[in-house]
Structure 1
């Protein structure tokens, strides 16, 4: 890791990234893409040394609203266990009466359950969790340095039991790897059991561009010999790589989530995530 001083910490829409880079090792991660202009190794985590001071100043100036993080770097990477920047940010969010939502794959978020509950009691917290495969062994290949799916489902259940609403990101679904009916059905089963309020899905497939494409293909060579050539033959240099099973899998997804009362309209979900506070909508989703 290395420290830098940042000029700002909150975006115009109150997005926040305390870290830049990640050590989860997910083979498909778009944040590796060259388009983001990272000038250091992705695993050499950039820590914004002055981020908490900047955050405090911004929270004092702004009207209470939702603060979001995790779009570019998981706020609960292993480094967080040691330096606790995310936890410190939560204390500020709690102190100044803001709401909080984040995207993570890590069970480390349960360390901060006390703060999440306190914030949720006063305003609003929504935890977003990524699920890609119901198979823990495959999960260990696709997302090698983070807790397996079965543990993430336990986290979702714990959060639900504590009254904190959850949203699952069902993505990416990798062609010829996890794009099976059994996998999609199993993940939906997990979401129903965990009583998630919504599932985000942008069709079945993934995106690749310079930077993450090379990393992904190296991982395919290592773990799925011969599959890279199949990808190149079918998709070439395309940015969007749809699963050949997309239509069938999306039909299953829409039917089963509708039957279970799980919200899947992406626009409505993002609106819900950004609204502060909307206890009436939250109650409806729960």
Structure 2
């Protein structure tokens, strides 16, 4: 179900830009998400979304964003996609992300956008315009296996569509990266999965990959996740309970080995693999773009 609302604010200052792609401002147009990823942290109580499957649409987002952008003198990186996907299915109808991107392009702000959807290609011309200041698009890819993806991200575009979107965006000179996160213990925490994602991301034009070898679980998000695990494999939730108890961060028991393997693969494929180096690259590109 979709609910339309008008909100008082949209663009918010981040607390620690250096820790997350040098993003100084962040906005989310949608609350809730129809992709139904079983691991989504945004189901947690602290975010105040009572029914995550109901999507709340902030219909006055473009007006609020424009008002804010004209008041900002120093044009720092704007981020979107941290809480809900800017290209979740409702965007096909509402085109609010598209409207907001046009404003970001008009006022010359750099952009960091995170998504699982190839719908982003609809706005490739706008993103190319934003790239005059700097545009970075990051795709979350937790597996390249369609069957596995359909189990853990049932309504998100399949991984092959995301990879093809990476290819098209990179052709336009847009900096494209991949998030391998979360890694789900006992499900996708294998060397073969990591290798497939890294090699295919490189082949399709990704410049960097950031990985996290576990997932966060708490309150009702944990309950939902465990219920979904039983649909994948009976008894899997009990294995989690035994291994992690009430831990917030549930790291794969293979994390140390996988992390080293991941780094070696990235080096072999000439991919950036840590946040500090990605941020350094962003700043360098932004400085270069200002010269033209």
Normalising by structure 1, report the TM-score.
0.93
Q: In structure 2, what is the equivalent of residue 186 of structure 1? A: 196
Query: More displaced, 110-119 or 78-87?
Result: 110-119
Q: In structure 2, what is the equivalent of residue 164 of structure 1? A: 174
CA contact (8 A) 2:216 2:250 kept: yes
Deviation at 1:49, TM superposition (A): 2.4
SS at match of 2:112: strand
Task: List runs of 5+ in structure 2 lacking aligned partners.
Answer: 14-23
Per-residue CA shift, 1:192-246, capped at 9, x if unaligned? 20231111123x1111011210110110112221111111111111111111111
Deviation at 1:276, TM superposition (A): 8.0
Query: More displaced, 94-103 or 127-136?
Result: 94-103
CA contact (8 A) 1:3 1:48 kept: yes
Q: How does 1:212-231 map to 2 (within 5 A)?
A: 212-231=221-240
Q: How does 1:92-111 map to 2 (within 5 A)?
A: 92-111=103-122
SS at match of 2:219: coil
Equivalent-residue separation in structure 1 for 2:98 and 2:284 (angstroms): 22
Equivalent-residue separation in structure 2 for 1:279 and 1:236 (angstroms): 49
Q: In structure 2, what is the equivalent of residue 283 of structure 1? A: none
RMSD of aligned residue pairs (Cα, Å): 1.7
Per-residue CA shift, 1:178-198, capped at 9, x if unaligned? 111111111111122023111
Equivalent-residue separation in structure 2 for 1:50 and 1:153 (angstroms): 32
CA contact (8 A) 1:129 1:167 kept: yes
* 2:155 aligned with 1:149: no
Deviating 4+ runs (over 4 angstroms): 270-276
Task: List runs of 5+ in structure 1 lacking aligned partners.
Answer: 281-286
Q: Relative to 1, partners in 2 of residues 1:270 and 1:232: Cα closer, same or farther, differing over 3 Å?
A: farther
Q: In structure 2, what is the equivalent of residue 114 of structure 1? A: 125
* 2:62 aligned with 1:61: no
Q: In structure 1, what is the equivalent of residue 7 of structure 2? A: 6
- Residues paired across the two proteins, number: 278
Normalising by structure 2, report the TM-score.
0.91
Deviation at 1:41, TM superposition (A): 1.1
Equivalent-residue separation in structure 1 for 2:6 and 2:79 (angstroms): 21
* 2:257 aligned with 1:248: yes
CA contact (8 A) 2:11 2:68 kept: yes
Q: How does 1:36-75 map to 2 (within 5 A)?
A: 36-38=47-49, 40-63=50-73, 64-75=75-86
* 2:274 aligned with 1:265: yes
